[in-house]
Every structure is written in structure tokens, then in C-alpha cells.
Amino acid sequence: MNLLKVALNPAGYLIEQVNNNNLEVFIGKKSTIQELKEDALREEIKAGVMQNLAKVEQELAIARRIENAEEVEIEEYYDVSGKGNVGVKGTAETVTVGASGEGRKVTKRIIKFKGFSVTQIPE
């Protein structure tokens, strides 16, 4: 069966083996639930930092491409809005407490580059 997996998808098979080995090593060396939770939190924080770094690198790459493009077309929409209400209504017989909320998020980003502008470095 493994030979068939290797033949059909060699890269996928290697990734699966690496993941399985990493999981076995990770779980095998920990003895308590608290240690596993701490490691999971540490990995989550690392993943968040890496995601933020990737976003910064993406923005820098876009800025470099804008700088070198002959023509750039950018179309962006960002709308993050929300509203909420909290209320209390009381009568002699009843008390009513209510809360409501509404959120909306619209995001669209299109960046098109055309051509390559050759800029000369000043001497």
C-alpha cells in the first residue's frame, strides 16, 4: 500500500511521513497535559507571528512591484462595521433585558500590474 502511495503522490507521501514523525516525537517526549497545553500555546503564538511576518513580506513585495511596474491598477474595498444595542425595560410586573448585535465585513482587493518600468539609479 505504501508503494502505491509513493507512486501516485511522492510529495504527499513524504509530507505525510514528516508530519507523522513530528507528531510522534512531539507527543512522545511530553509527559503531562499541562506541558502539552503549554507547547500548543507556544506553537499557536509562533504561527501567529509567522502569519504576520508573511503579511508584511507580501506588502513589501507588492510595494516593490508597484515601484517597478509601468502601470498599476489597484481596487480595494474595506468595510468593517458593526452596531449593537443593550436595553432594559421594566414595568410593575415584568423586567425585560435584551441585547442585539450586527456585524458586517466586506473585503476585496485587486492589484493588477502591467509592464515593467526600467528605472535608472541616480549617479
| Contact indicator for 113, 66 with CB cutoff of 8 Å | yes
CA angle 69, 71, 77 (to 5 degrees): 105
Q: What is the pLDDT of residues 31-46, one digit of tens each?
A: 678 888 888 899 899 9
Q: How far apart are CA 117 and CA 68, in angstroms?
A: 5
Query: Does position 120 have pLDDT exceeding 60, yes or no?
Result: no
Q: Under DSSP, is residue 118 helix (H, G, I), strand (E, B) or coil?
A: coil
Percent of the chain with pLDDT over 70: 76
Give pTM, 2 decimals: 0.45
Per-residue pLDDT, 45: 92
Residues 6+ apart with CB under 8 A from 119: 67, 68
**Mean pLDDT, rounded, for 7-14:** 70
Query: Does position 2 have pLDDT exceeding 70, yes or no?
Result: no
Per-residue pLDDT, 39: 85
